[in-house]
Amino acid sequence: MITEKAGRVLEKYELCDHCLGRLFARLGKGTNEERGRAIRFVLNMERAAAGLPPITEPKKCGLCGNVFERIPELVERMKEASAGIEFDTFLVGSRFPAEVREKEEVIWREFGIETGEPINREFNRELGKAFGLATGKDTARNPDVVFIVEPYSAELELQINPIYVYGRYRKLVRGIPQTPLPDFEDSVASIICRAFSGASGGKCVFKGAGREDVDVRMLGNGRPFIVEIKRPRRRKLDLKSIAEEINASGRVEVLDLSFVAPKEAEEVLTKNHRKEYLALVLVEDGVTPEEAEEVARKLKGLEIHQRTPWRVRKVRADKVRVKRVHEAEARWLDEKHFELRLVTDGGLYIKELVSGDKGRTKPSVSDLLGKPAWCERLDVLNILDD
């Protein structure tokens, strides 16, 4: 049945061994070229027995135009395009003209071919095998780079997949934003990204799991973050050296740097975290040790209804968020100051928890004291993973 169907196809269409074998790609093992050569050989034996002339492989294939002969040239183009790019794994994709794909489908329909393989799939595989043999690189499901080839024009697009690095940062000084802002020379993101961009030769994008205000330090175990490095020229980064360069700034420190997959990076940024804070509370009307202790006692376990703070209303959706204070401890300092150590749900604005934000946060430290209170200084002590 195979040779009978192949004979009918070849009587109408001049096909190379690649395109002939691809009609029966789901049958047997081996390459399509080997399959096509074998089918043509057996077919011609049968034709010879019947006194018919052989059907030899044409000088130019009527379907692909001998595009598979261009593979060595395209391998060289791929090597040139990726020169200077550090990678271990790759994939190949191709863009075939619509008329070639349509002609292949016409043949399938005309002769009832149900065992065929699309031309681009075979071409990608054969080009990938040839490039791998020439370079020692391997194909992978999640590759470092992807080559997109236009087989007839030899035009080539090189996609360099990003690197993702997880870490935690400490912000050791006040007066520095997490991400670049006007009127600030530096930021946590710029200090971290300078080191990664310099080491990788790519563009660095910083993404923090939450943020703290410009005047708030981030201490303790640090805030989780992800660095996405786009189009890196170097992938085998020395994370220890990068950390040392960042930490030498004296303003920002990074911990626990490690490479992660894109899915892991997304989980880091969407995971809920409790936060531990230390707030210096100012009470101009005066506060006693007993009042400070009473505030902490009432805060512990309290549910807070907080409308988007006035100061961030232009950049945050205006809605009421319900958060909880899990732990609260007070330490009286003097007649106007006490410290509050708090463990709260992520997303609770601590400055407004203290002041009340003109009634937008209820209850607040001001409410519990019965007199105005302000957060004079704030530190994030730890980010607590749930």
349 is in an annotated binding site: yes
Is 152 assigned a ligand-binding role in the annotation?
Answer: no
All domains in the chain, ordered by first residue: 2-160 (no CATH), 163-270 (3.30.70.2510), 274-384 (3.30.70.3190)
Catalytic residue among 213, 334, 385, 386: 213
pLDDT of 386 reads 59
- Consecutive 10-residue runs of the chain (386 residues): their mean pLDDT? 94 97 95 97 97 97 98 98 97 97 97 96 98 97 96 97 98 97 96 98 97 96 97 98 98 98 94 94 98 98 96 87 97 98 96 97 97 98 86
Residue 367 known to be catalytic: no
Tokens 């990204």 found at: 193
Helical pair 119-135 and 71-81, crossing angle rounded to 10 deg: 60
Measure the CA–CA gap between 358 and 313, rounded to whole angstroms.
14
Strands 89-94 and 138-139: parallel
Prediction pTM value: 0.88
Whether the CB-CB separation of 152 and 103 falls below 8 Å is answered with no
pLDDT at residue number 314: 81
How much is the pLDDT for 272?
85
Alpha-carbon distance 95 to 338, whole Å? 68
The answer to whether residues 269 and 165 touch, using CB atoms and an 8 Å cutoff, is no
At how many degrees (to 10) do helices 98-111 and 2-12 cross? Answer: 130
d(CA 220, CA 223): 9
Question: 3-class SS at 77?
Answer: helix
